[in-house]
A and B are shown apart, each in its own frame.
Chain A
């Protein structure tokens, strides 16, 4: 008992230390390095947000839709003089609203059908942004007027995105430890069984889908306001949808720490590849990470470190343990 307490104390102290270091990074880093950190934090956040609906066993291949909706909403609002924080939150809310509407019919679909449905959904939203070029600027994209973002440096953006990602992680952790998380786990194990013992499956799935889309939308909104320029091929690109899946799967689906570690590792590596080699290699990296993980370590990286303590693995090899 004593050892456990000591362990958790050390762990807690370690976490605080990591947080402190993360917040202090910009003081000693070049702006260029900082920009790499900012990009990878965005993708990490999407991976953790993706895993919220991933908890229920539904594999969404269309999270770029929510990312893009958040990005465009915040862009349009900011161009009309709405302040940054409000634009971020409204971006998330519009995304969540969209998710709730499409979620009612889509969440009835299962397994491959849900995956393919969301893939199609992302493509429809992509085409819609091209068609609605009056508001979105069409294929040419949308650039923020300079007066809006003047005076904000890398330090500001870094601190903001770090805080957002920490909040996303905390929300994921909190969900894992509430009734919602337990319900999602039950749905993951067997949707029919969960439903027959009285779990309101569609209600919980819709909740998770909405929260996941809300957080993804906020991250998309941040991405837009940080880059100050977005185009449909940019925010709806498969590297967002696929990146999220790759990172979560690589780290370990269904855990809070898994997508976080997988996200940090893969997105940093892909950002480095993007800046020093070519952006083509980052997609290759995601592909190899996905295939390699599925072949050799279906539980993700997390199953190495927690392999001995978590006995509850189902036959899919997906780690059921939601403890950090």
Chain B
């Protein structure tokens, strides 16, 4: 039982990183990126292909996918998000959903419908922390995810571009007035958020089995975390991630396997109905 709880917390850290990419795009640009999950799946599939072709360790792909997805983020911002950013939220919502399905069908066309998983020599190794056995892989990924989240905090709070991002998220008009180049900030935000998504996708591909529609699951899990923490709140993300990780692993003891993925949806729907702005979010009229 304690081992289950600990493993839940560990996967929660990876979930938190997963949700971070979504929350930054929403927080700064007010775009709800429904193409989020398929992007995560895409990163996973790229990792799978390179690992099985070149026989390299998937850990090497973490920075590589980060850079690759940074470029993809800039490209997507310039071609897709920039023209619609001033339009209504429904337009951007439907646009990102379309983007998601383009990615999903490309995955189907390129990789086929088979289940794929990435195996490393240390995939099934476990270590003992204070007398409790936990998965070695999950521990490493948790620490890495934690490191990246802390890094993002530092970028947001200590660097010039990070402060500009915060300014845009707090008051876009005000940010424009004080002379912030909003376009450049948005471009950077999208790039860095996609980079985080790419890294998170690479991580999650080492833990779970990939299939083409797995992206929907990631979108919903990320949203679940975001509504738990409050859409647009960076502080709530790790808490939301760990709550979801715990809920999933604890429910796996009591409920049949089929329900495992349903837990995230149930939490999502319940939180939306009880407290639509989440537990850490700003009350906002959407």
Binding site for B on A (CB under 8 A): 57, 59, 61, 105-106, 108-113, 115-117, 119-121, 123-124, 127, 130-131, 192, 238, 242, 245-246, 249, 278, 280-281, 283-284, 286-291, 294-295, 298, 315-318
Other A-B contacts than A110-B286, A290-B101, 10 sampled, CB-CB below 8 A, are A111-B286, A115-B32, A116-B227, A117-B268, A124-B265, A130-B258, A249-B94, A281-B109, A283-B104, A294-B92
- CB-based contact A291/B80 at 8 Å: yes
**Distance between A119 CB and nearest chain B CB, rounded to angstroms:** 7
- CB-based contact B102/A316 at 8 Å: no
CA A280 to CA B101, docked complex, whole Å: 11
Tell whether A117 pairs with B93 under 8 Å between CB atoms, given A284-B105, A287-B99, A316-B87: no
Chain B residues closer than 8 Å to A315, beta-carbon distance:
87-88
Q: Which of B108, B216, B256, B273 contacts A131 (CB 8 A)?
A: B256
- CB-based contact A131/B258 at 8 Å: yes
Main secondary structure of the interface of A (DSSP, over half): helix
CA A318 to CA B266, docked complex, whole Å: 32
- Is B89 part of the binding interface, using a Cβ–Cβ cutoff of 8 Å? yes
- CB-based contact B258/A59 at 8 Å: no
**Distance between A284 CB and nearest chain B CB, rounded to angstroms:** 4
- Is B83 part of the binding interface, using a Cβ–Cβ cutoff of 8 Å? yes
Main secondary structure of the interface of B (DSSP, over half): helix
Tell whether A113 pairs with B87 under 8 Å between CB atoms, given A59-B93, A291-B102: no
CA A191 to CA B6, docked complex, whole Å: 45
CA A120 to CA B84, docked complex, whole Å: 26
**Distance between B14 CB and nearest chain A CB, rounded to angstroms:** 21
CB-CB nearest in chain B for A285: B105
- CB-based contact B90/A316 at 8 Å: yes
- Is B75 part of the binding interface, using a Cβ–Cβ cutoff of 8 Å? no
- CB-based contact A119/B95 at 8 Å: no
- CB-based contact B83/A123 at 8 Å: no
Chain B residues closer than 8 Å to A105, beta-carbon distance:
273
Q: Which of B83, B97, B104, B272 contacts A117 (CB 8 A)?
A: B272
Q: Which of A111, A119, A284 contacts B106 (CB 8 A)?
A: A284
**Distance between A59 CB and nearest chain B CB, rounded to angstroms:** 6
Chain B residues closer than 8 Å to A108, beta-carbon distance:
273, 276
